[in-house]
Each structure stands twice: as C-alpha cells, then as structure tokens.
A = this chain, B = another copy of it.
Amino acid sequence: MKEQLKNMIIASTSTIHGSSYLEYILPTLKAFFENTDEVVFIPYARPGGISHDDYTEIAKKGFERIGKQVVGVHTFENPVEALKNAKAVFTGGGNTFLLVSQLYKFEIMPVLRQRIFEGLHYFGTSAGANITGLTMQTTNDMPIIYPPSFKTLGAVPFNINPHYLDPVSGSKHMGETRETRINEFHKINTQPVIGLREGSWLEVRGDRILLQGEHTARIFEQNKPAYEIESGSEVRF
C-alpha cells in the first residue's frame, strides 16, 4: 500500500458555533473534492439517533453549496461494492460506538481502509474523524452499543480526540476533564493522541499531515507533558 496516496480531511466537528452545517470548511472541501461530482456518505453514526435518510439529507444540503451530489451508502444493496467504486467518501459524526459497530457489521472497515491507502478522497467529522485513528478509544461518546472491536482504520498513526475541550475555568463539576481522561488512556495505551478543537482539521496528503484551522491542537504522548502545536505545522511523531 502506497502511503503517499492518502488524501484526507479529518475534522473535529461538522459545525462551529454560530454558523451553519459545514460552513466553516466549505472552501476547503470545494478544493479537496474538485475532481469528483459525487460523494458517498456514511450516515451510520446517527447523531441524536436520526435516521440514515434524514442524516443523508443534511449532508446533501451541505454539499449542494459546493455543487456536489451526495448519496448515502445505506441506499446501495452492497455497501462494500459502493465503497470499492467510490471516488470520495464523507463520514459524518454522531455516536462512534454505533458507527464502528455498523462498519464491522457491513464489513466496510477493511475496504474503506484499503481505498484510503489507495488514494480515495476521505472527509470525516467528529466520529468520522475518530475512526481514521488507530483505535476509537479516545472518543467522547457513550458506549450505547458493544462493537466487535475498538480498532479503527489506522489511516493515521495516532488516535484522535474530536471536539477537544479545555478545562472549563471555575467549573464546580467533579467529573474528569478531557485531559485527565486522555492521561488515563495513556496509562494502558502507547499511541499519541491529538486533541482537535472545534474548527481545526488535519489535512493528510500522502504521509504529510498538517494541522489546519484557526486553533492550536493539543498533543498527548505517553509519559510526556501535553503540549500545543500551531496551525500550519506538521503532525509527526
């Protein structure tokens, strides 16, 4: 598999506060998808439990604004074949446990991985970003369904924490902060984790991974203090 063929946009969120669905990232998507008219949408994460059809409608409306067709992978008789033939894929956010369960159930995980390594244009937000990492174990979601494995696409050599949230100053809530949770992860797992704030994304071209968007990102490596990297810098371990 030729590493240098990867083309991905891995985004923390679909929507930033005060703007419409995908709005902040449409110029990036327009350039990214310039050589394709149709994007296959994976709606399995079902945010808020909405149906695959309803979710696909939302994605359609977003992509209409850059003149792209969207077709839900659930509308194909054979989703594996659909992905084998797709030029471009978008996986939307929602519940990562549900998304991963469905990707295994429909045997999509290996074919999607292979297509990404062959150069398929892949865009994922939130749960759809999370699954590009080595495992889904730095998701923020509730385990509403038991997936056959926590292993995900491994299209980047680290884990992703989407919607990364800094500790809320003055909070009286005693639940763990995001940083505490990721540190707990590193007590028993070795791979680095990138905390992507809302409005940040990773642009993957071959083996080059750049942080984009207006924020810094927080990097967690096992047995090191967490640190920030600037937008525009390369993610490399």
Contacts and interface: CB of A to CB of B under 8 A. Distances in A.
Contacts of A18: 172
A183 interface: yes
Main secondary structure of the interface of A (DSSP, over half): loop
Contacts of A182: 142
Interface in A140-185: 140-146, 149-150, 163, 165, 168, 172-176, 180-185
Interface stretch (A42-50, A79-87, A208-216): A42-50
Contact of A145 (B16, B176, B188): B188
A98 interface: yes
Copies of this protein in the complex: 2
Interface residues of A, number: 45
A56 interface: no
Contacts of A168: 168
A47 B176 contact: yes
B137 A144 contact: yes
Contacts of A150: 143, 146
Contacts of A13: 174-175
